[in-house]
Structure 1
Amino acid sequence: MTAEQIAGLDAELSELTGSLGRLFNRPEPRVVFTQYVEGLLAELPKKNGWTLSERAGHVTPDRMQWLLNGSVRDADRLRDEVCSYLVKHLGDPEASLVIDDTQAQKKGTKSVGVAFQHCGLTGDVRNRQTMVMLTYAAPGGHAFIDRRLYLPEDWTSDRAVPRGRDPRRRRLRHQAGTGRGDAQEALTSHVPFGWVLADAGYGHDPHLRGFCHDQVLPYVLAAPVDLPLTRPPGKPRQPAVKRADDLLHYAKARDRWERRSLGNGAKGERLYDFNAFDVTVTGEDPAEGFAHWLVMRRSLHPNRRGKNGELHREIAYFLVHAPTGTTLTEIITRAGGRWRIEEDNEINKQLVGFAQYQVRKWTPWHRHITACMLATAFLTVQHTGLTDPEPDTDTTPEKAANPGKDQVNDENKTTS
């Protein structure tokens, strides 16, 4: 990156944060908010009230803490601005909405939503908060556009929740329902997208599927093994299909697995074997002109131990709702897009202090998380606009007679 590009980034960030001044009722929090976002984007070992305040030149963290806890502003308005900013620069009708959750490990029991909860990534149970996130994954880039804090059962009952801790406990009882609400808000905000993607934590929710059917939305949702199905794919005498994993019998019998890639991951290309069946989901009709498919994804090597200790290749199931005639290639491509939200989780945690907050209440939590969303949205948009430095066009005789290393490498590439 050139010095001119770095200077341009500073100017763009100042313009972006300056345009959000209308969200505050006084000039002081506007200034501190700009410093807060700049600190999230700075290279700091940790990003909490003390470190952000020190970078901004404050003697104490009081002003940063007041920004999160006491200032008068609406975090949802900032969320809407983040969404509009991304749509303005990356909006595409072929984009996908990706729903997933991530966790922040916490100590104690006072922070809103904290409880001993299972983590699907690590498989253990720890004291943590669970955040349901929504990524806008477009061809030009991807970033978060919505967030909601999941409240476990201990936090949703009148008896368990002290007054004032949770202003919306009735509305946020289930993780799947939270994800459905995110998709609904994206639709009402006129966000352009073509598909909905989610893992099994949301794919098992019939209300989310019904919402997509009603709105004529294609989706690829990871499905539980007991997803109820009613139509066998073969002859009447063959075993009936009552649930998703019953189809494994037919997959083994016809042995038509296709090896495809879900894109590049941290360890290289993500290759799997795929099989697909057209299915009927019990009690659920697809939208007009649409059909349901169940797609199986099988790992290439044994990686799961069975009840008897033997190793098996892991099978994952995906329910697909798409226009009739959609190809398996397009379905697999869309399914691979779900990894975008995993990347966003890592980017936010590693770069902008997404899980390093030191707040306990509902409103400060949403203010910090939304500020992180703004910071990474800015990074995403700027990354799409970066261009390589202008090539060296010096054509003097001395330069032509002594080509540099890059020129030699280019010549080798063209003649190899």
Structure 2
Amino acid sequence: MSRIAGRFARVEPRRRVRDLVLGLLSDLPRKNCWSIAEWAGQASPHGMQHLLGWAKWDADTVRDDVREYVLEHLHDDDAVLFVDETGDVKKGTHTVGVQRQYTGTAGRIENAQVAVYLVYAGRRGHAAIDRELYLPRSWTCDPDRCRAAGLGEDTVFATKPELAARMIGRFLDAGHRVGWVAGDEVYGGNPKLRAALEERQVGYVLAVACSAEVTTGAGEFRADVLAVKVPKWAWLKLSAGAGGKGHRFYDWAVIDLAEPRLGSHQLLIRRNRTTGELAYYRCWSPAAVPLATLVRVAGSRWRVEETFQSGKGLAGLDEHQLRRFTSWSRWVTLAMLAHAFLAVVRADEHARHSAPDGLIPLTCNEIQRLFTTLVVRPVHGAAHRLGWSDWRRRHQARAQASHYRRKAANQT
């Protein structure tokens, strides 16, 4: 917390932000301003709501602090940057960025809010270091709606690959280097993102659709057509990395592409050894690299999925109940900090102490459980709990009375 303390001019928001981050790390079944304020011993949620909505502090500078904290503790010369989006299912139409859209969280089209994240993944651990909220055209084409949600007058539509390029640019402009960027088909199918990475001399392994057109020395082909032409001897059995049940072996093949731009352009193909299902990746690097390197990058996608899972399950990344953009950016930034804390503690524990025989190494889940139980569990008396019960019922009574008045006014 001392890393971000200087971002708050007064002691009150410093104390509240500490309580909020500890609340995000707690074992509360539901994390929002109400539940965290009660857990922290505050008399009402007003202080937490003020911290997220109106207090004077810049979430982007705290975001940069999170990035530097992660890189200081999890730095790896072979690290990979992952770009990916995740959605939070929401009700109503007033929450910033919400519309009916596909979200992988639900696996279908839902009323949801979608954000793109940048995840830093190395051998010591992985954590999100940047975020951008995806704003559909239904929002950017409606200035009044944007203004009501706290968005600036200059808000314009940006695709998910454009948001990814923006975050990668911030990372590189801050003086950091990384050898590889990875992402799914949304990003691999975007030529502007690929060109931007090549211009910055950053290698990539980006998934593409089976219908993606690529150019070889023999002409232009669909990716799935080229896969049929790969001879049997060209497939190599390689591990995509260790999973929960051991190494994940696939068959891999790589095809050199004929591109006018400098560097090594390749199409990487992965084949499931059981089902025969194929996956395709556009790859580029400033100089040729071994197939094993491309496989390592492609096979480490599970890290971004685990980051989202633990960020939501352990740090409340998706549990905000906030409508305005400022509040959203502050909540997710502090949730990223809380999750980064768990990732850093895990990495340090693994480096200092090997797990005894018969025990797996400490996980983020177990570290959160121990930290909450042994270090920060608050104890409040009956008077505090009863006071919160009164406050909730009073608030609900006001809301009910207001609803009845509006309903009566509409009927007259």
TM-score band, normalised by shorter chain: 0.7 to 0.9
Match 2:273 to one of 291, 294, 300? 300
User: What is the CA–CA distance in structure 2 between the aligned matches of 1:342 and 1:300, rounded to whole Å?
Assistant: 22
Which consecutive residues of structure 2, in runs of 5 or more, have no partner in the other structure? 359-412
1:155 aligns with 2:134: no
Question: Which residue number in structure 2 is paired with residue 244 of structure 1?
Answer: 223
Q: Secondary structure at the match of 2:254?
A: strand
Question: Which residue number in structure 2 is paired with residue 370 of structure 1?
Answer: 333
User: What is the CA–CA distance in structure 1 between the aligned matches of 2:306 and 2:354, rounded to whole Å?
Assistant: 27
User: What is the CA–CA distance in structure 2 between the aligned matches of 1:120 and 1:389, rounded to whole Å?
Assistant: 36
Match 1:357 to one of 311, 316, 320? 320
Of residues 209-218 and 259-268 in structure 1, the stretch that sits farther from structure 2 once superposed is 259-268
Per the TM alignment, residue 194 of structure 1 is displaced from its structure 2 partner at its CA by 1.3
Per the TM alignment, residue 87 of structure 1 is displaced from its structure 2 partner at its CA by 1.5
Per the TM alignment, residue 263 of structure 1 is displaced from its structure 2 partner at its CA by 1.7
1:199 aligns with 2:184: yes
Question: Which residue number in structure 1 is paired with residue 108 of structure 2?
Answer: 124
Per the TM alignment, residue 161 of structure 1 is displaced from its structure 2 partner at its CA by 3.4
Matches within 5 A, 1:304-315: 313-315=276-278
Question: Which residue number in structure 1 is paired with residue 407 of structure 2?
Answer: none
Matches within 5 A, 1:401-412: none
Instruction: Say if 1:94 and 1:389 are closer, same or farther in 2 by CA, change over 3 A.
Output: closer
Question: Which residue number in structure 2 is paired with residue 257 of structure 1?
Answer: 235
Match 1:388 to one of 321, 345, 353? 353
Match 1:275 to one of 253, 257, 263? 253
Question: Which residue number in structure 1 is paired with residue 2 of structure 2?
Answer: 18
Question: Which residue number in structure 2 is paired with residue 285 of structure 1?
Answer: 261
Per the TM alignment, residue 159 of structure 1 is displaced from its structure 2 partner at its CA by 6.0
Q: Secondary structure at the match of 2:220?
A: coil
Greater percentage in helix: 2
Q: Secondary structure at the match of 1:262?
A: strand
CA deviation profile, 1:190-239 (whole Å, cap 9, x unmatched)? 12321111111111111111111111111101112333323245xxxxxx
Alignment size in residue pairs:
355
- Asked whether the 8 Å contact 1:154–1:161 carries over to 2, the reply is no
What letter matches 2:126 in structure 1?
A: H
User: What is the CA–CA distance in structure 2 between the aligned matches of 1:274 and 1:197, rounded to whole Å?
Assistant: 17
Match 2:306 to one of 328, 343, 347? 343
- Asked whether the 8 Å contact 1:97–1:195 carries over to 2, the reply is yes
Per the TM alignment, residue 179 of structure 1 is displaced from its structure 2 partner at its CA by 0.5
Per the TM alignment, residue 335 of structure 1 is displaced from its structure 2 partner at its CA by 1.1
User: What is the CA–CA distance in structure 1 between the aligned matches of 2:239 and 2:153, rounded to whole Å?
Assistant: 42
Q: So what's the TM-score if we normalise by structure 1?
A: 0.80
CA deviation profile, 1:215-271 (whole Å, cap 9, x unmatched)? 1111101112333323245xxxxxx433322212312x4453222221233555332
User: What is the CA–CA distance in structure 2 between the aligned matches of 1:264 and 1:22, rounded to whole Å?
Assistant: 41
What letter matches 2:229 in structure 1?
A: Y
Instruction: Say if 1:201 and 1:169 are closer, same or farther in 2 by CA, change over 3 A.
Output: farther
User: What is the CA–CA distance in structure 2 between the aligned matches of 1:139 and 1:169, rounded to whole Å?
Assistant: 40
User: What is the CA–CA distance in structure 1 between the aligned matches of 2:106 and 2:37, rounded to whole Å?
Assistant: 34
Q: Secondary structure at the match of 2:83?
A: strand
Instruction: Say if 1:168 and 1:40 are closer, same or farther in 2 by CA, change over 3 A.
Output: farther
What letter matches 1:152 in structure 2?
A: P
User: What is the CA–CA distance in structure 2 between the aligned matches of 1:85 and 1:341, rounded to whole Å?
Assistant: 18
Of residues 217-226 and 178-187 in structure 1, the stretch that sits farther from structure 2 once superposed is 217-226
Question: Which residue number in structure 1 is paired with residue 391 of structure 2?
Answer: none
User: What is the CA–CA distance in structure 1 between the aligned matches of 2:226 and 2:233, rounded to whole Å?
Assistant: 12
Per the TM alignment, residue 323 of structure 1 is displaced from its structure 2 partner at its CA by 4.1
Q: So what's the TM-score if we normalise by structure 2?
A: 0.81
Which consecutive residues of structure 1, in runs of 5 or more, have no partner in the other structure? 1-16, 234-239, 303-312, 392-404, 407-416
TM-align CA RMSD: 2.2
- Asked whether the 8 Å contact 2:90–2:111 carries over to 1, the reply is yes
Q: Give identity over the alignment, percent.
A: 36
What letter matches 1:248 in structure 2?
A: A
User: What is the CA–CA distance in structure 1 between the aligned matches of 2:299 and 2:104, rounded to whole Å?
Assistant: 18
User: What is the CA–CA distance in structure 2 between the aligned matches of 1:19 and 1:324, rounded to whole Å?
Assistant: 38
User: What is the CA–CA distance in structure 2 between the aligned matches of 1:262 and 1:254, rounded to whole Å?
Assistant: 20
- Asked whether the 8 Å contact 1:156–1:169 carries over to 2, the reply is no
Per the TM alignment, residue 339 of structure 1 is displaced from its structure 2 partner at its CA by 2.0
Per the TM alignment, residue 272 of structure 1 is displaced from its structure 2 partner at its CA by 1.9
